[in-house]
Structure 1
């Protein structure tokens, strides 16, 4: 006679059959998941059973964590967590949350086989069969590696910009040196060689400074008080001015990287001289019409009380409003002989200081480049 406590053979058989079917379904899911995950190498993808133990382990998981498949399979997922997180119950809490919510996505600390910690983007998804929890899928990406890849990409872009900057900025002192050397040869005026020497010294100075930037990145390195008139006069000497006139107003002192401020001014002056007038050379170029020898370039502090900074203006035709965003793009030019680097370099130097560079109309016509948000001393 069977009592209430005696197991019902039929129910026991049904339960065992159900568990075996469930296990078979889980193993089938694991096999399909493993095949899919093995094709992925750039992130960790692995399957956990209902207790949180590793059942599958793809190539991406080996690369990300350093654990070989034979080392990881069978281990509890907590082996990937920091000791303090394991003590506080983070692994089990995340599995319970995934089971309750269906899945969770988070950024957190994980630990490699060698003990080093890294930040990871992790998504844990609960697997259910007819409502019963059978395991979890985990997808994990190493943010440290992605960040490093992004840094390398940014460094490559920085070096490409640096090469463009070097080739562009060396044109001014080399042109000045060449012009004075030719005049010295033609006229016998050896005093011209002094200007040639200064221009070549400026070229050497630029090369040294740009090499330093290549080592240290694009940030400003040596902020100090710099007088705007002093910086403007020094920059003007480094530009092929072609008979243009410089007018400097005020005595503003800026807090800036002296070398990079001079680069910015040289490029702004070069842009004004080249594009400031249409009277002599009416062919199109980067941002406006080509300039002439009668252009006047004015430098001075911003007049408003709310904005601190300075401006560089010329008396030419100005920059069309439709082009005022594009002119700051690296390589933008409408002239086959133009480089399109000058104003783009200026914007990068302004950004490195935390300044804002904008273009507008000068009073009475012409282009006016304004540099604002500048700390003054």
Structure 2
């Protein structure tokens, strides 16, 4: 017969941590049995196992065991679970378990305390009133309870101390005794709305100016407080000073805003100069120096002005070189020891006082060079270290962009030079060939010579388009007041055809580059003449925010419209693909948009929108 006490139902030994914990706390273990059938008398408490299957042990499901135990014995039942997840705790509680414990064996005192309480051996928790009193005395943040008219019914000691009062003095006061009248009125109206509507206000960040004239921010939560009958009788709320976080947020935003200047710098020296200016503008950043790779060496090119006899680069030359070689940030303490361990100089928060000597942070700039920073020892906290790394990341990105743009410009120049020289040479040879064909046709004409002449003429037109395509990167972006009718008329004079007519647009003035607009009309007119058939009728008209060019030809199949302005659309058999690609480049240079639709007569209609009219 077992005596009253704590019974462990342990089929496979996995309740050993519980047995050890109970013995260490001198709690009575009546017996340890493999199953409920071996429990002969009602114990003070039953502890049952809940565990998943392992390599050497089967699964033990506590839920059926829990039901059986509660039917057999009028005693508390504790489940000791070895499973993960909330459900393994919630399910036994829903079935009536007194407690569910997942405390590891390394915490025996906590295991024993939980079971002692479930068995009814230990003292209960303090009364709620005592707990509340303890909370209000010791909680290190602002916490308050108000009645329905905004009187402080209770507060933490910390809350009262913020305003220079004791808890006893502050209880009964209102916001009118703590703040200026306007701010107190705002709080009154806010809280009366919360009481009337029964709504909660969660983590509302408010800015105010303290008695010293400093900007501060607090995050406030206020929720309605109900009595036992469900009536709202006031509010409970709390505030937390988030000034450091808001200041850091403001500084980070200022850094990102200042870093916009980096995107406008076009050379590495300019980027370095902007970097120094940014560090000067952001108070939280220390003095900086930028050193760039020059051949096999690093060379300083820009630095913040300091009173030190040595520059940052000269003082931390070894750290600069090591950082550049390894591509890793290095920290230099006040004794000039170099390490990758940030904790040697970086504190969690700035404590408000400096120590003897300076410390340095040396950060790689993605292979371009190194950014070095120096600050008084004790002044570098985790936020300033993060701020320095964000600056370095922005600077490295600016160097990458400048290098890409320089390389792209070089390749574009080479492409343009090659295209221009090659096009002129090919045009000269084509003109010689055309002249030879023309002379030959004057003496003996034939269909073959006529076809050859047509092919050469088509090649010349395509060559002209290709040359223009190579130069589209230089489409002028400057705009002036341009007459749409005059531009269309000028382009039409270049169209050599007796089989097409044009209905010009009405007089209208838009912001455009005149030469580029004429080229746009030239390519669109040529496209219409070549594809609309003879005779062709072309119409140029106005839209609310643009203009259109339409013809009465056969139109463009729907499946081709999506790719019409891509360079891949060019079809050597049609001569027009490059022209439309150039049209799209001109449109893009003006920040316009182009679309193609079916015209009223069934042909093609090109609509250019986004135009600014005068």
The TM-score, its normalising length taken from structure 2, stands at: 0.32
From the superposition, tell whether residues 45 and 358 of structure 1 become closer, same or farther in structure 2 (CA, over 3 Å).
Answer: same
- In the alignment, the residues of structure 2 paired with residue 342 and residue 320 of structure 1 have an alpha-carbon distance, to the nearest angstrom, of 18
- CA distance 1:308–1:162, change in 2 (3 Å): farther
Pair 1:364-2:601 in alignment: yes
* Change in 2 beyond 3 A, CA 1:92/1:366: same
Change (3 A) 1:250 1:95: closer
Deviation string, structure 1 residues 83-139 (Cα, Å, up to 9, x no partner): 6xx479885324877xxxxxx99631x4xxxxxxxxx25xxxxxxxxxxxxxxxxxx
Deviations 1:278-317 (A, max 9, x none): xxxxxxxxxxxxxx33111111112xxxx32111011111
Measured at CA, do residues 156 and 88 of structure 1 come closer, stay the same or move farther in structure 2, by a change above 3 Å?
farther
Q: Distance in 2 between matches of 1:163 and 1:318?
A: 37
CA RMSD of aligned residues (A): 4.9
Count of residue pairs brought into register by the alignment:
240
Unaligned runs of 5+ in 1: 1-39, 67-78, 98-103, 111-119, 122-140, 187-202, 277-291
Give, in whole Å, the separation in 2 of the partners of 1:88 and 1:262: 66
Alignment of 1:84-99 (within 5 A): 86=375, 92-94=381-383
Q: What residue in structure 2 maps to residue 300 of structure 1?
A: 541
Report the counterpart of residue 485 of structure 2 in structure 1.
229
**Larger relative contact order (Cα-Cα within 8 Å, sequence gap ≥ 6):** 1
Q: Does structure 1 residue 220 correspond to structure 2 residue 477?
A: yes
Distance 1:160 1:246, change over 3 A: farther
- Give the C-alpha shift of residue 219 in structure 1: 4.5
Pair member with larger Rg: 2
How far apart in 1 are the matches of 2:490 and 2:571?
30
1:41 Cα deviation (Å)? 8.8
Shift of 1:52: 4.9
**Whole-Å separation in 2 of the counterparts to 1:346 and 1:254:** 17
Q: TM-score, normalised by structure 1?
A: 0.50
* 3-state SS in 1 of match to 2:613: coil
Equivalent of residue 344 in structure 2, options 51, 62, 84: 51
Corresponding residue for residue 390 of structure 2:
107
- Residue 247 to residue 337, structure 1, CA distance change in 2 (3 Å): closer
- Label 1:329 to 1:91 Cα distance change in 2 as closer, same or farther (>3 A): farther
Equivalent-residue separation in structure 1 for 2:576 and 2:377 (angstroms): 60
Residues 134-171 of structure 1: per-residue CA shift (max 9 Å, x gap): xxxxxxx8212210233246536766886899769x99
How far off its partner does 1:335 sit? 4.0
Does structure 1 retain, via aligned residues, the 8 Å contact 2:565–2:580? yes
Query: Structure 2 CA distance, aligned partners of 1:157 and 1:322?
Result: 35
Partner of residue 267 from structure 1, selected from 501, 506, 523: 523
Q: Over residues 232-251 of structure 1, what are the superposed CA-to-partner deviations in whole Å (9 max), with x where a residue is unaligned?
A: 11001123335321111322
Displacement after TM superposition at 1:253 (Å): 1.8
Of 67, 80, 101, the match for 2:372: 80
Contact 1:45 1:61 in 2 (8 A): no
Alignment of 1:258 onto 2:514: yes
How far apart, in 2, do the equivalents of 1:93 and 1:346 lie?
Answer: 53
